[in-house]
Structure 1
Amino acid sequence: MTWVPELNAYLVTRHADIVAGMKDRRLANANMAQGLRRLSPAEQDELLPLRASLDMWMGHTNPADHVRFQQLLKRYFMPATVDALRPRVRELTHELLDAVAPQGRMDVVKDLAFPLPANVIAEMLGMPIRDRDLLHAWSRDIHTVFQIANLAQLRRCQRSLLEMQDYLRPLLAERRQQPREDVLSTFAAAEKDGLVTEDEIVANCVLLLFAGHETTAHLIANGLLLLFQNPEQLDLLKKKPELTPSAVEEMLRCDGPGGSVVRITTEPVVIGGVPIAAHQTIYLAMVAGNRDPEVFDEPDRFDVTRTPNRHTAFGMGASYCLGAALARMETDECFRILLDRFPDLRPVDATPDWHVNSPFQHHLNTLRVELTGRH
């Protein structure tokens, strides 16, 4: 635990303190809307629609509303429900690889890591196939709210977010008249029972469409790079594909998509023996806690057989990621198929093409590979 002037916040790096912080109800979510409050009054007024939508996002509401949304969506993200999606995830993975196999090369980020989970979550929400290319463009702009952004970026973010919400409203209207087996229909039924409003529905569908593919996409791309950087582990995984679930957990630990979470103290607390006043910002740096030598043997070693693996990549307690089982399943299927079809694939570029989002998080802009071996 240390005070970091550059962040104007406390930084928590020990695994035990991070776990405790995630479970402590005195630490409130520091939602993205708080960053908007640093703008001038006129700029805040201009971005009021963005802030209003963010305030309705699950995980950024009050605890009661967070639980309400989780209960509505829980059945779609239970392990048993997610397992039923495996055949469709396999089909989508093969389709994406079939499209690039003739060229003998692909950009893993553009051709596989992003479109696979985007197609899955879009199908769960009932988004037509013809419109799914829009999702990536919208998501690129909306991702700004997780970064230190300037006014121009926030304006683009607001524009894309509102476009996405406007796109979803007619789909929701269709589900009111003709329900299907998808998330939008569940929301429509809940709206009829007075459990949720239309504005809450479209705001949280934006969150699901965005978060439901961004995080998994980064996990797939970063995970493959880890395998390239540790060829003995890649060889082991190819020989023993049954280790894939364990390998996914190690990818989450070593370079998962969630580098940190930010909390605000609602009252004085003590973390790691350090007293902290109310209304202070705290960064829980999972990227550091997941390499805590008090918890993980040889923490800097990437080991696809590591067990136990008590990483915090998906959060803890009430803040545990609703889509964790879905992300695990998609990544598991993706790697099994990719390494089976192209066992000799290798990177084209010697240096990773990183984009740094924050002091604790990065993702790959591109990951070009040669597709060699079986097809």
Structure 2
Amino acid sequence: MNHSVSNPFPWYKKMSAENPVYYDKDYMHYFGAKGAWHVFRYHDVQTVLYDWENFSSEYAPKVDNILSAAIQVTDPPRHKQLRLLVSKAFTPNVIENMKPWIQEITKELLDKVADKGEMDVTVDLAVPVPIQVIAKMLGVPYEDRDKFKFWSTIIVKNPTEVEGGVNGYFQAQQEMAQYFMNLFEERLKDPKDDLISHLQRVDLEGEKLSEQDLLAFCITLLVAGNETTTNLISAAIYTFIENPEIQEHLYQYPEVIPTAIEEILRYRAPVQYINRIATKDVELGGQTIKKGDLINAWMGSANRDASVFENPDTFDLNRTNLKHTSFGHGIHFCLGAPLARLEAKIVLELLFSQFKQLELKDTSKELEMNEINLMFSIKSLPIVFKKR
């Protein structure tokens, strides 16, 4: 796999043209398996995401892996039950009620840097907003946020990249599990108005969420609701720095911000690919994928498919086709999508209402990325700005 994490797009383009469905025998998965099919074109990626009967989400090894019970790695009928339970946490009403405190969190963070005229977008804004939102949803004490950040950065990595390797990876999972177990016990004795207490109470056709399900969900929410929104916010601000005329436009017409966010999701998808496993021998793009083969569906590539998106490598605020694949497709469509969109919208509205002329602090430096193929993830983004 010869591509850079800061600019994988030329590689996608080449592969889409020459090897749209391609078997890579040396590809290492984060759970230790080797070998994967890479799928690059929009319609093939959509097929893999949509057709859960042929392309199963139950690819994670069941051993000792807490996340193997999580909603995103289960298929129907189990998936449907979990989703019904958990979707109660994401009703439009619940999300609407979060608005005031997402605004409050963002305002506090912007106030801290306003007089300095500079900040690291990732560290000072894009990381703390989602972490505090998720922590507040779950009812996790704010002072534990550093632990959370530490765990969630480890869990999206490939275990081979983690300090202490696979052992370090599972240790982080175990610590996180222990942390939540203690929290579950506290909530059972003393329920609060938070998501954990809520999920401990809900039942579906008389069935309650098991502790294992609850645990997998909390960890998923923490990781999925955290890293991805962080990536969305920092990629958005980076893109608006590359296209400075957009900054003023969004300040004058804040109603355009939601469209800008959809185009960011297409242009630099926070999650670049998703795994699946073939349940039987299946034909895709002229190739035969064998039962048990693992598949990487590259959403980051699908979103730049020229047969679907005109001038795909251009960030275009007037684009009318917003059918990107960044939140998935079909039964696994991201439950947290409305929350991610809301967080990004509030952050950008407040940012442009207070600051202008956002620029990179040092244009001679390369963009510092987290070395992870799974995500478009900016590690550090030092910028300077002026107050309005």
- Scaled by the length of structure 1, what TM-score is found? 0.89
Cα deviation, residue 150, structure 1: 6.4
Cα deviation, residue 191, structure 1: 7.4
Report the CA distance shift for 1:276/1:167 in structure 2 as closer, same or farther (over 3 A): closer
Superposed, 1:241-280 pairs within 5 Å as: 241-280=254-293
Q: 1:29 aligns to what? A: 57
Q: 1:44 aligns to what? A: none
SS at 1:365's partner residue?
strand
Residue 314 (str. 1) matches residue 327 (str. 2) = yes
Residue 369 (str. 1) matches residue 388 (str. 2) = no
**Structure 2: 5+ residue stretches without partners:** 1-19, 28-34
Letter in 1 for 2:332: S
Report the CA distance shift for 1:287/1:30 in structure 2 as closer, same or farther (over 3 A): farther
The answer to whether the Cα contact below 8 Å between 2:21 and 2:284 also exists between their aligned partners in 1 is no
With 82-91 and 54-63 compared, the bigger mean Cα shift is at 54-63
Q: 2:300 aligns to what? A: 287
SS at 2:191's partner residue?
coil
Q: 1:170 aligns to what? A: 182
Of 30, 40, 43, which aligns to 1:16? 43
Distance across 2 between alignment mates of 1:212 and 1:336: 20
Cα deviation, residue 262, structure 1: 1.7
Q: 1:68 aligns to what? A: 81
Q: 1:2 aligns to what? A: 21
SS at 1:372's partner residue?
strand
Cα deviation, residue 23, structure 1: 1.1
Residue 331 (str. 1) matches residue 341 (str. 2) = no
The answer to whether the Cα contact below 8 Å between 2:368 and 2:378 also exists between their aligned partners in 1 is yes
The answer to whether the Cα contact below 8 Å between 1:119 and 1:132 also exists between their aligned partners in 2 is yes
The answer to whether the Cα contact below 8 Å between 2:160 and 2:166 also exists between their aligned partners in 1 is no
With 244-253 and 362-371 compared, the bigger mean Cα shift is at 362-371
Q: 2:360 aligns to what? A: 347
CA deviations 1:65-120 (Å, max 9, x no partner) are 32222111212223332122111111110011112223222111111101101100
Distance across 1 between alignment mates of 2:352 and 2:285: 43
SS at 2:371's partner residue?
strand
Cα deviation, residue 30, structure 1: 5.7
CA deviations 1:279-335 (Å, max 9, x no partner) are 222221111110111111111110123212110000011111111110010001101
Q: 1:41 aligns to what? A: none
The answer to whether the Cα contact below 8 Å between 1:33 and 1:54 also exists between their aligned partners in 2 is no
Residue 300 (str. 1) matches residue 327 (str. 2) = no
The answer to whether the Cα contact below 8 Å between 1:345 and 1:373 also exists between their aligned partners in 2 is no
Cα deviation, residue 16, structure 1: 1.4
The answer to whether the Cα contact below 8 Å between 1:59 and 1:319 also exists between their aligned partners in 2 is yes
Cα deviation, residue 222, structure 1: 1.1
Of 160, 164, 170, which aligns to 1:152? 164
Superposed, 1:52-91 pairs within 5 Å as: 53-91=66-104
Q: 1:39 aligns to what? A: none
Letter in 1 for 2:368: D
Residue 356 (str. 1) matches residue 371 (str. 2) = yes
Distance across 2 between alignment mates of 1:202 and 1:22: 25
Cα deviation, residue 164, structure 1: 1.6
Distance across 1 between alignment mates of 2:46 and 2:21: 17
Cα deviation, residue 135, structure 1: 1.0
The answer to whether the Cα contact below 8 Å between 1:72 and 1:186 also exists between their aligned partners in 2 is no
Cα deviation, residue 155, structure 1: 1.8
The answer to whether the Cα contact below 8 Å between 2:241 and 2:358 also exists between their aligned partners in 1 is no
The answer to whether the Cα contact below 8 Å between 2:58 and 2:74 also exists between their aligned partners in 1 is no
The answer to whether the Cα contact below 8 Å between 2:327 and 2:333 also exists between their aligned partners in 1 is yes
Distance across 1 between alignment mates of 2:133 and 2:241: 26
The answer to whether the Cα contact below 8 Å between 1:356 and 1:362 also exists between their aligned partners in 2 is no
SS at 2:318's partner residue?
coil
CA deviations 1:197-232 (Å, max 9, x no partner) are 223212321221121111000110111111111223
Distance across 1 between alignment mates of 2:290 and 2:180: 42
CA RMSD in angstroms, aligned pairs only: 2.1
The answer to whether the Cα contact below 8 Å between 1:265 and 1:279 also exists between their aligned partners in 2 is yes
Letter in 2 for 1:85: M
